[in-house]
Every structure is written in structure tokens, then in C-alpha cells.
Structure 1
Amino acid sequence: MRVRGRLTGAGLAIAAAAVVSGLGATAAGAQPADSIGTKAEAANVPVHATTDAYIRSVPATTGADWGQVRFGEEWEAICFTEGGDASLGGRNSNIWVQLDQWGPSNGYVTELALRDGHANMPHC
């Protein structure tokens, strides 16, 4: 009777030979992420809402309303991008900030609703 998950007989001999010959993966042989072409994600940037504004599904006022930022709230921003024109308090901008909403999707808010706009953020 064969039992799954157990090495017996020839399977054990093959596994032992692989480890002895150096085919087994070890922590000592692992490469740092930078050496294999990956890079760490940038840290989120804290932002402060200076007025109420809608969080949109896309970087445009035509995007679905996914919620709101409220005056005085602190949020975590991921990046900024260009999108549709927005106006707020007599000012206009096409820059949108992607907020980290810790869900399956992250929404966008116009930079006009944030104290420092898109300062210190990477481009999306």
C-alpha cells in the first residue's frame, strides 16, 4: 500500500542523493531579492485631508463614488497619477492620489483635497 506524503524505498534514496549532490535548496544558497531583479515596494505616504472629497474608482470625477475622505482625516497614499480634471474651491488639477484602502481595490482622490497634494509620492 502506498502512502502519500512519505518517502519510502527508492524515493528516500533519490531525495538523499539530491541533498548530498547540492540539488536541495538551502537558506545559505538563497540570493537577496535585489540580486535577482526584484525591488521592495515603496512605503506609503501619510496624507491629511483639508476638505471633504469623494474617493473615485478611477482618477476622474466620472469614476464611481467609493466613499469619501473627510476634513481632518489621515490616510495612507500609494502614488499619484494624471487623470481627469477636478475642481475644488476655485482651483483645478488633473493630479489624483491613489489611497491605500486595504481592500481588493484602491480608490483615487483629487490632490486638491490633501494638504500637500502629491508631494513626496512616487508616480503610479
Structure 2
Amino acid sequence: MIVSSWIYSVIIILVVIIAYALFNAWRAKRAVTTLSEEEFKAGYRKAQLIDVREKKEFDASHILGARNLPSTQIRTRQKELRKDTPIYLYCDTGGRSSRAALFLKGKGFTELYQLQGGFKKWSGKTKSNY
């Protein structure tokens, strides 16, 4: 009897975790438009191009013309961004840029875009600070 109640507890916890993850993914999808590399290239020069990776990652290599605004600092530095200009976000794979977009959407930013697959899939021009 004790084992079965333990199993039910584990199942309930797993269901809650999965539901939470799915809900957050759904919210992030509504907050940001994911663009293919071609779509991203077509628009990022007329936008605020923001690399949300940490400074060390940015310095190693980043998309030419990007500004570094790490996702860990987005809450304190969001005022550096303009609400009247589209924001193109990227990170390594898309997770951090989705979370950054979700936060920015909550602060009133409306034109938010992210690079599909993130910087790891980028084949365009890059710059290294080393």
C-alpha cells in the first residue's frame, strides 16, 4: 500500500512538471515569432539585434551588428531597449531568447522575433572579439 501511494505521488509530480513545461512553452510561443535564418537576415538590420547569451559567449563569436544583453541581466537592463523598434533575439539554441521574449512581452514590448535554432544554426556573418 505504501509503495503504490509513493508511485501515485511520483506520477502526480511528473504530470505537474510536464504540464508546467508545456504551459511555459505555449506562453513563450505566443510572446515571440520564430523566424528562419532567411527571414531573420531579411529583417534584423532594421531592428534591435540582441544576443542574450553571456558576455563570454558573445565575445567568442556573435552575429555581426548584435548587441549583448545577457538574459541574466534583461530585468535590470530592459530600459536600454526601445519599444517602438522590432527586437530580434538569439541565443545558442532558442531557450534563453524565448524566456527573454516572454519577459519583454510582459513589459509591453510587442515586436519580438527569435532566430530558429539559435546561433548554433547560424551560417551568416559573425564577429569575434578575440
| TM value normalised by structure 1 | 0.29
With a CA cutoff of 8 Å and minimum separation of 6, indicate the structure with the bigger relative contact order: 2
Q: Which has the higher strand share?
A: 1
| TM value normalised by structure 2 | 0.28
